[in-house]
Amino acid sequence: MTAQIAVLEHKESGARAQVLVSQGFNCFDWVAAVGDAKLPLLYAPEGFASGDHRPTSGGTPLLFPFPGRIEEGRYSFGGKDYELPAGDAFGNAIHGFVFNKPWRIVDQSESSVTAEFVGSQDAPETLDLWPSDYAIQAAYRLEADQLVLEVTCSNPGDSDLPYGLATHAYFSLPLDPGGDPEATVLHAPVDREWAMHDMIPTGDSEQNPVVDGLAAGMPLAGQQLDQPFRLAPSSSGEVVTSLKGGGVTLEQTCSDDFRCYVVYTPGHREAVCIEPYTCVPSPFGSEQRGVDTNLKILAPGESHSYTVTLHARAN
């Protein structure tokens, strides 16, 4: 299949972005204008634009209707049992249905693009795997020093739709060419780490030195992370995570609908992922054990919208 790419330009500043529409509507390239510099702030492996790489290995994968893993691909909802295909080495299902499939563009301008994905139209083979039909519409809007992602999740079906949403952006390291990637400081306002067994949250959580480090601002040197963390309560209704390094700050702002943050440091050390999740991974089992995972449920005809804003600036 030929790759379909949407190119966005902000001609006044020279900022640009590219979105791989044919593989998950993944924004894999963003060059921001920061002062006189043009900084590439998203990581993707060489040749990612071809669509031949693993879809979650770079850019900004969009994860829906479930982000992260579901234990052994099995879950129950509404009195019915479901089983999903395995997607990792432990036999768990992973990252939903929309990150690796073509989306449909519904609107486009010089500096923005909107696309949608509806289960019954774009992946009818998944309808027996989930309690309801599902729909997601996403729009990228490019500004000089910002990339704004607006997402609406909808239930076009006849039954309740349980869902979670996440973005899985790979932020390039170092932020400023010539800087030290290991000296980059990551800040995330979290207060607990969700305990894991075979990459599945157990429902327990703990406070530990990594949590304290993220909350205060932690250099990435020596850190090897792939863990979910609980968001600390926010009085503003917004959550801001940030990376600082080499004279550049990159902020990611979203609403406190995103209650869980996964921090992932790939082994190649060329990027770090700060992933806002609306729910804890594998939420169904934890919910049955009485753990509040913030699993969302939409009644037929309902929808909910989210915004994630990336902003780059000089320190």
Q: Which residue segment(s) compose the domain that 185 sits in?
A: 5-314
The CATH number of the domain holding residue 287 is: 2.70.98.10
pLDDT at 68: 97
pLDDT at 2: 87
pLDDT at 181: 95
DSSP string, 199-215: TEEEEEEE--HHHHHHH
pLDDT at 64: 99
Cite the DSSP H helix spans in the chain. 119-122, 209-216, 283-288
Task: Say how many domains are in the chain.
Answer: 1
* Cβ-Cβ contacts under 8 Å for 286 (sequence gap 6 or more): 201, 203, 280, 293
pLDDT at 167: 99
pLDDT at 235: 85
- Which candidate, 185, 126, 169, 170, places its Cα nearest to that of 258? 169
Low-confidence ranges of the chain (pLDDT < 70): 1
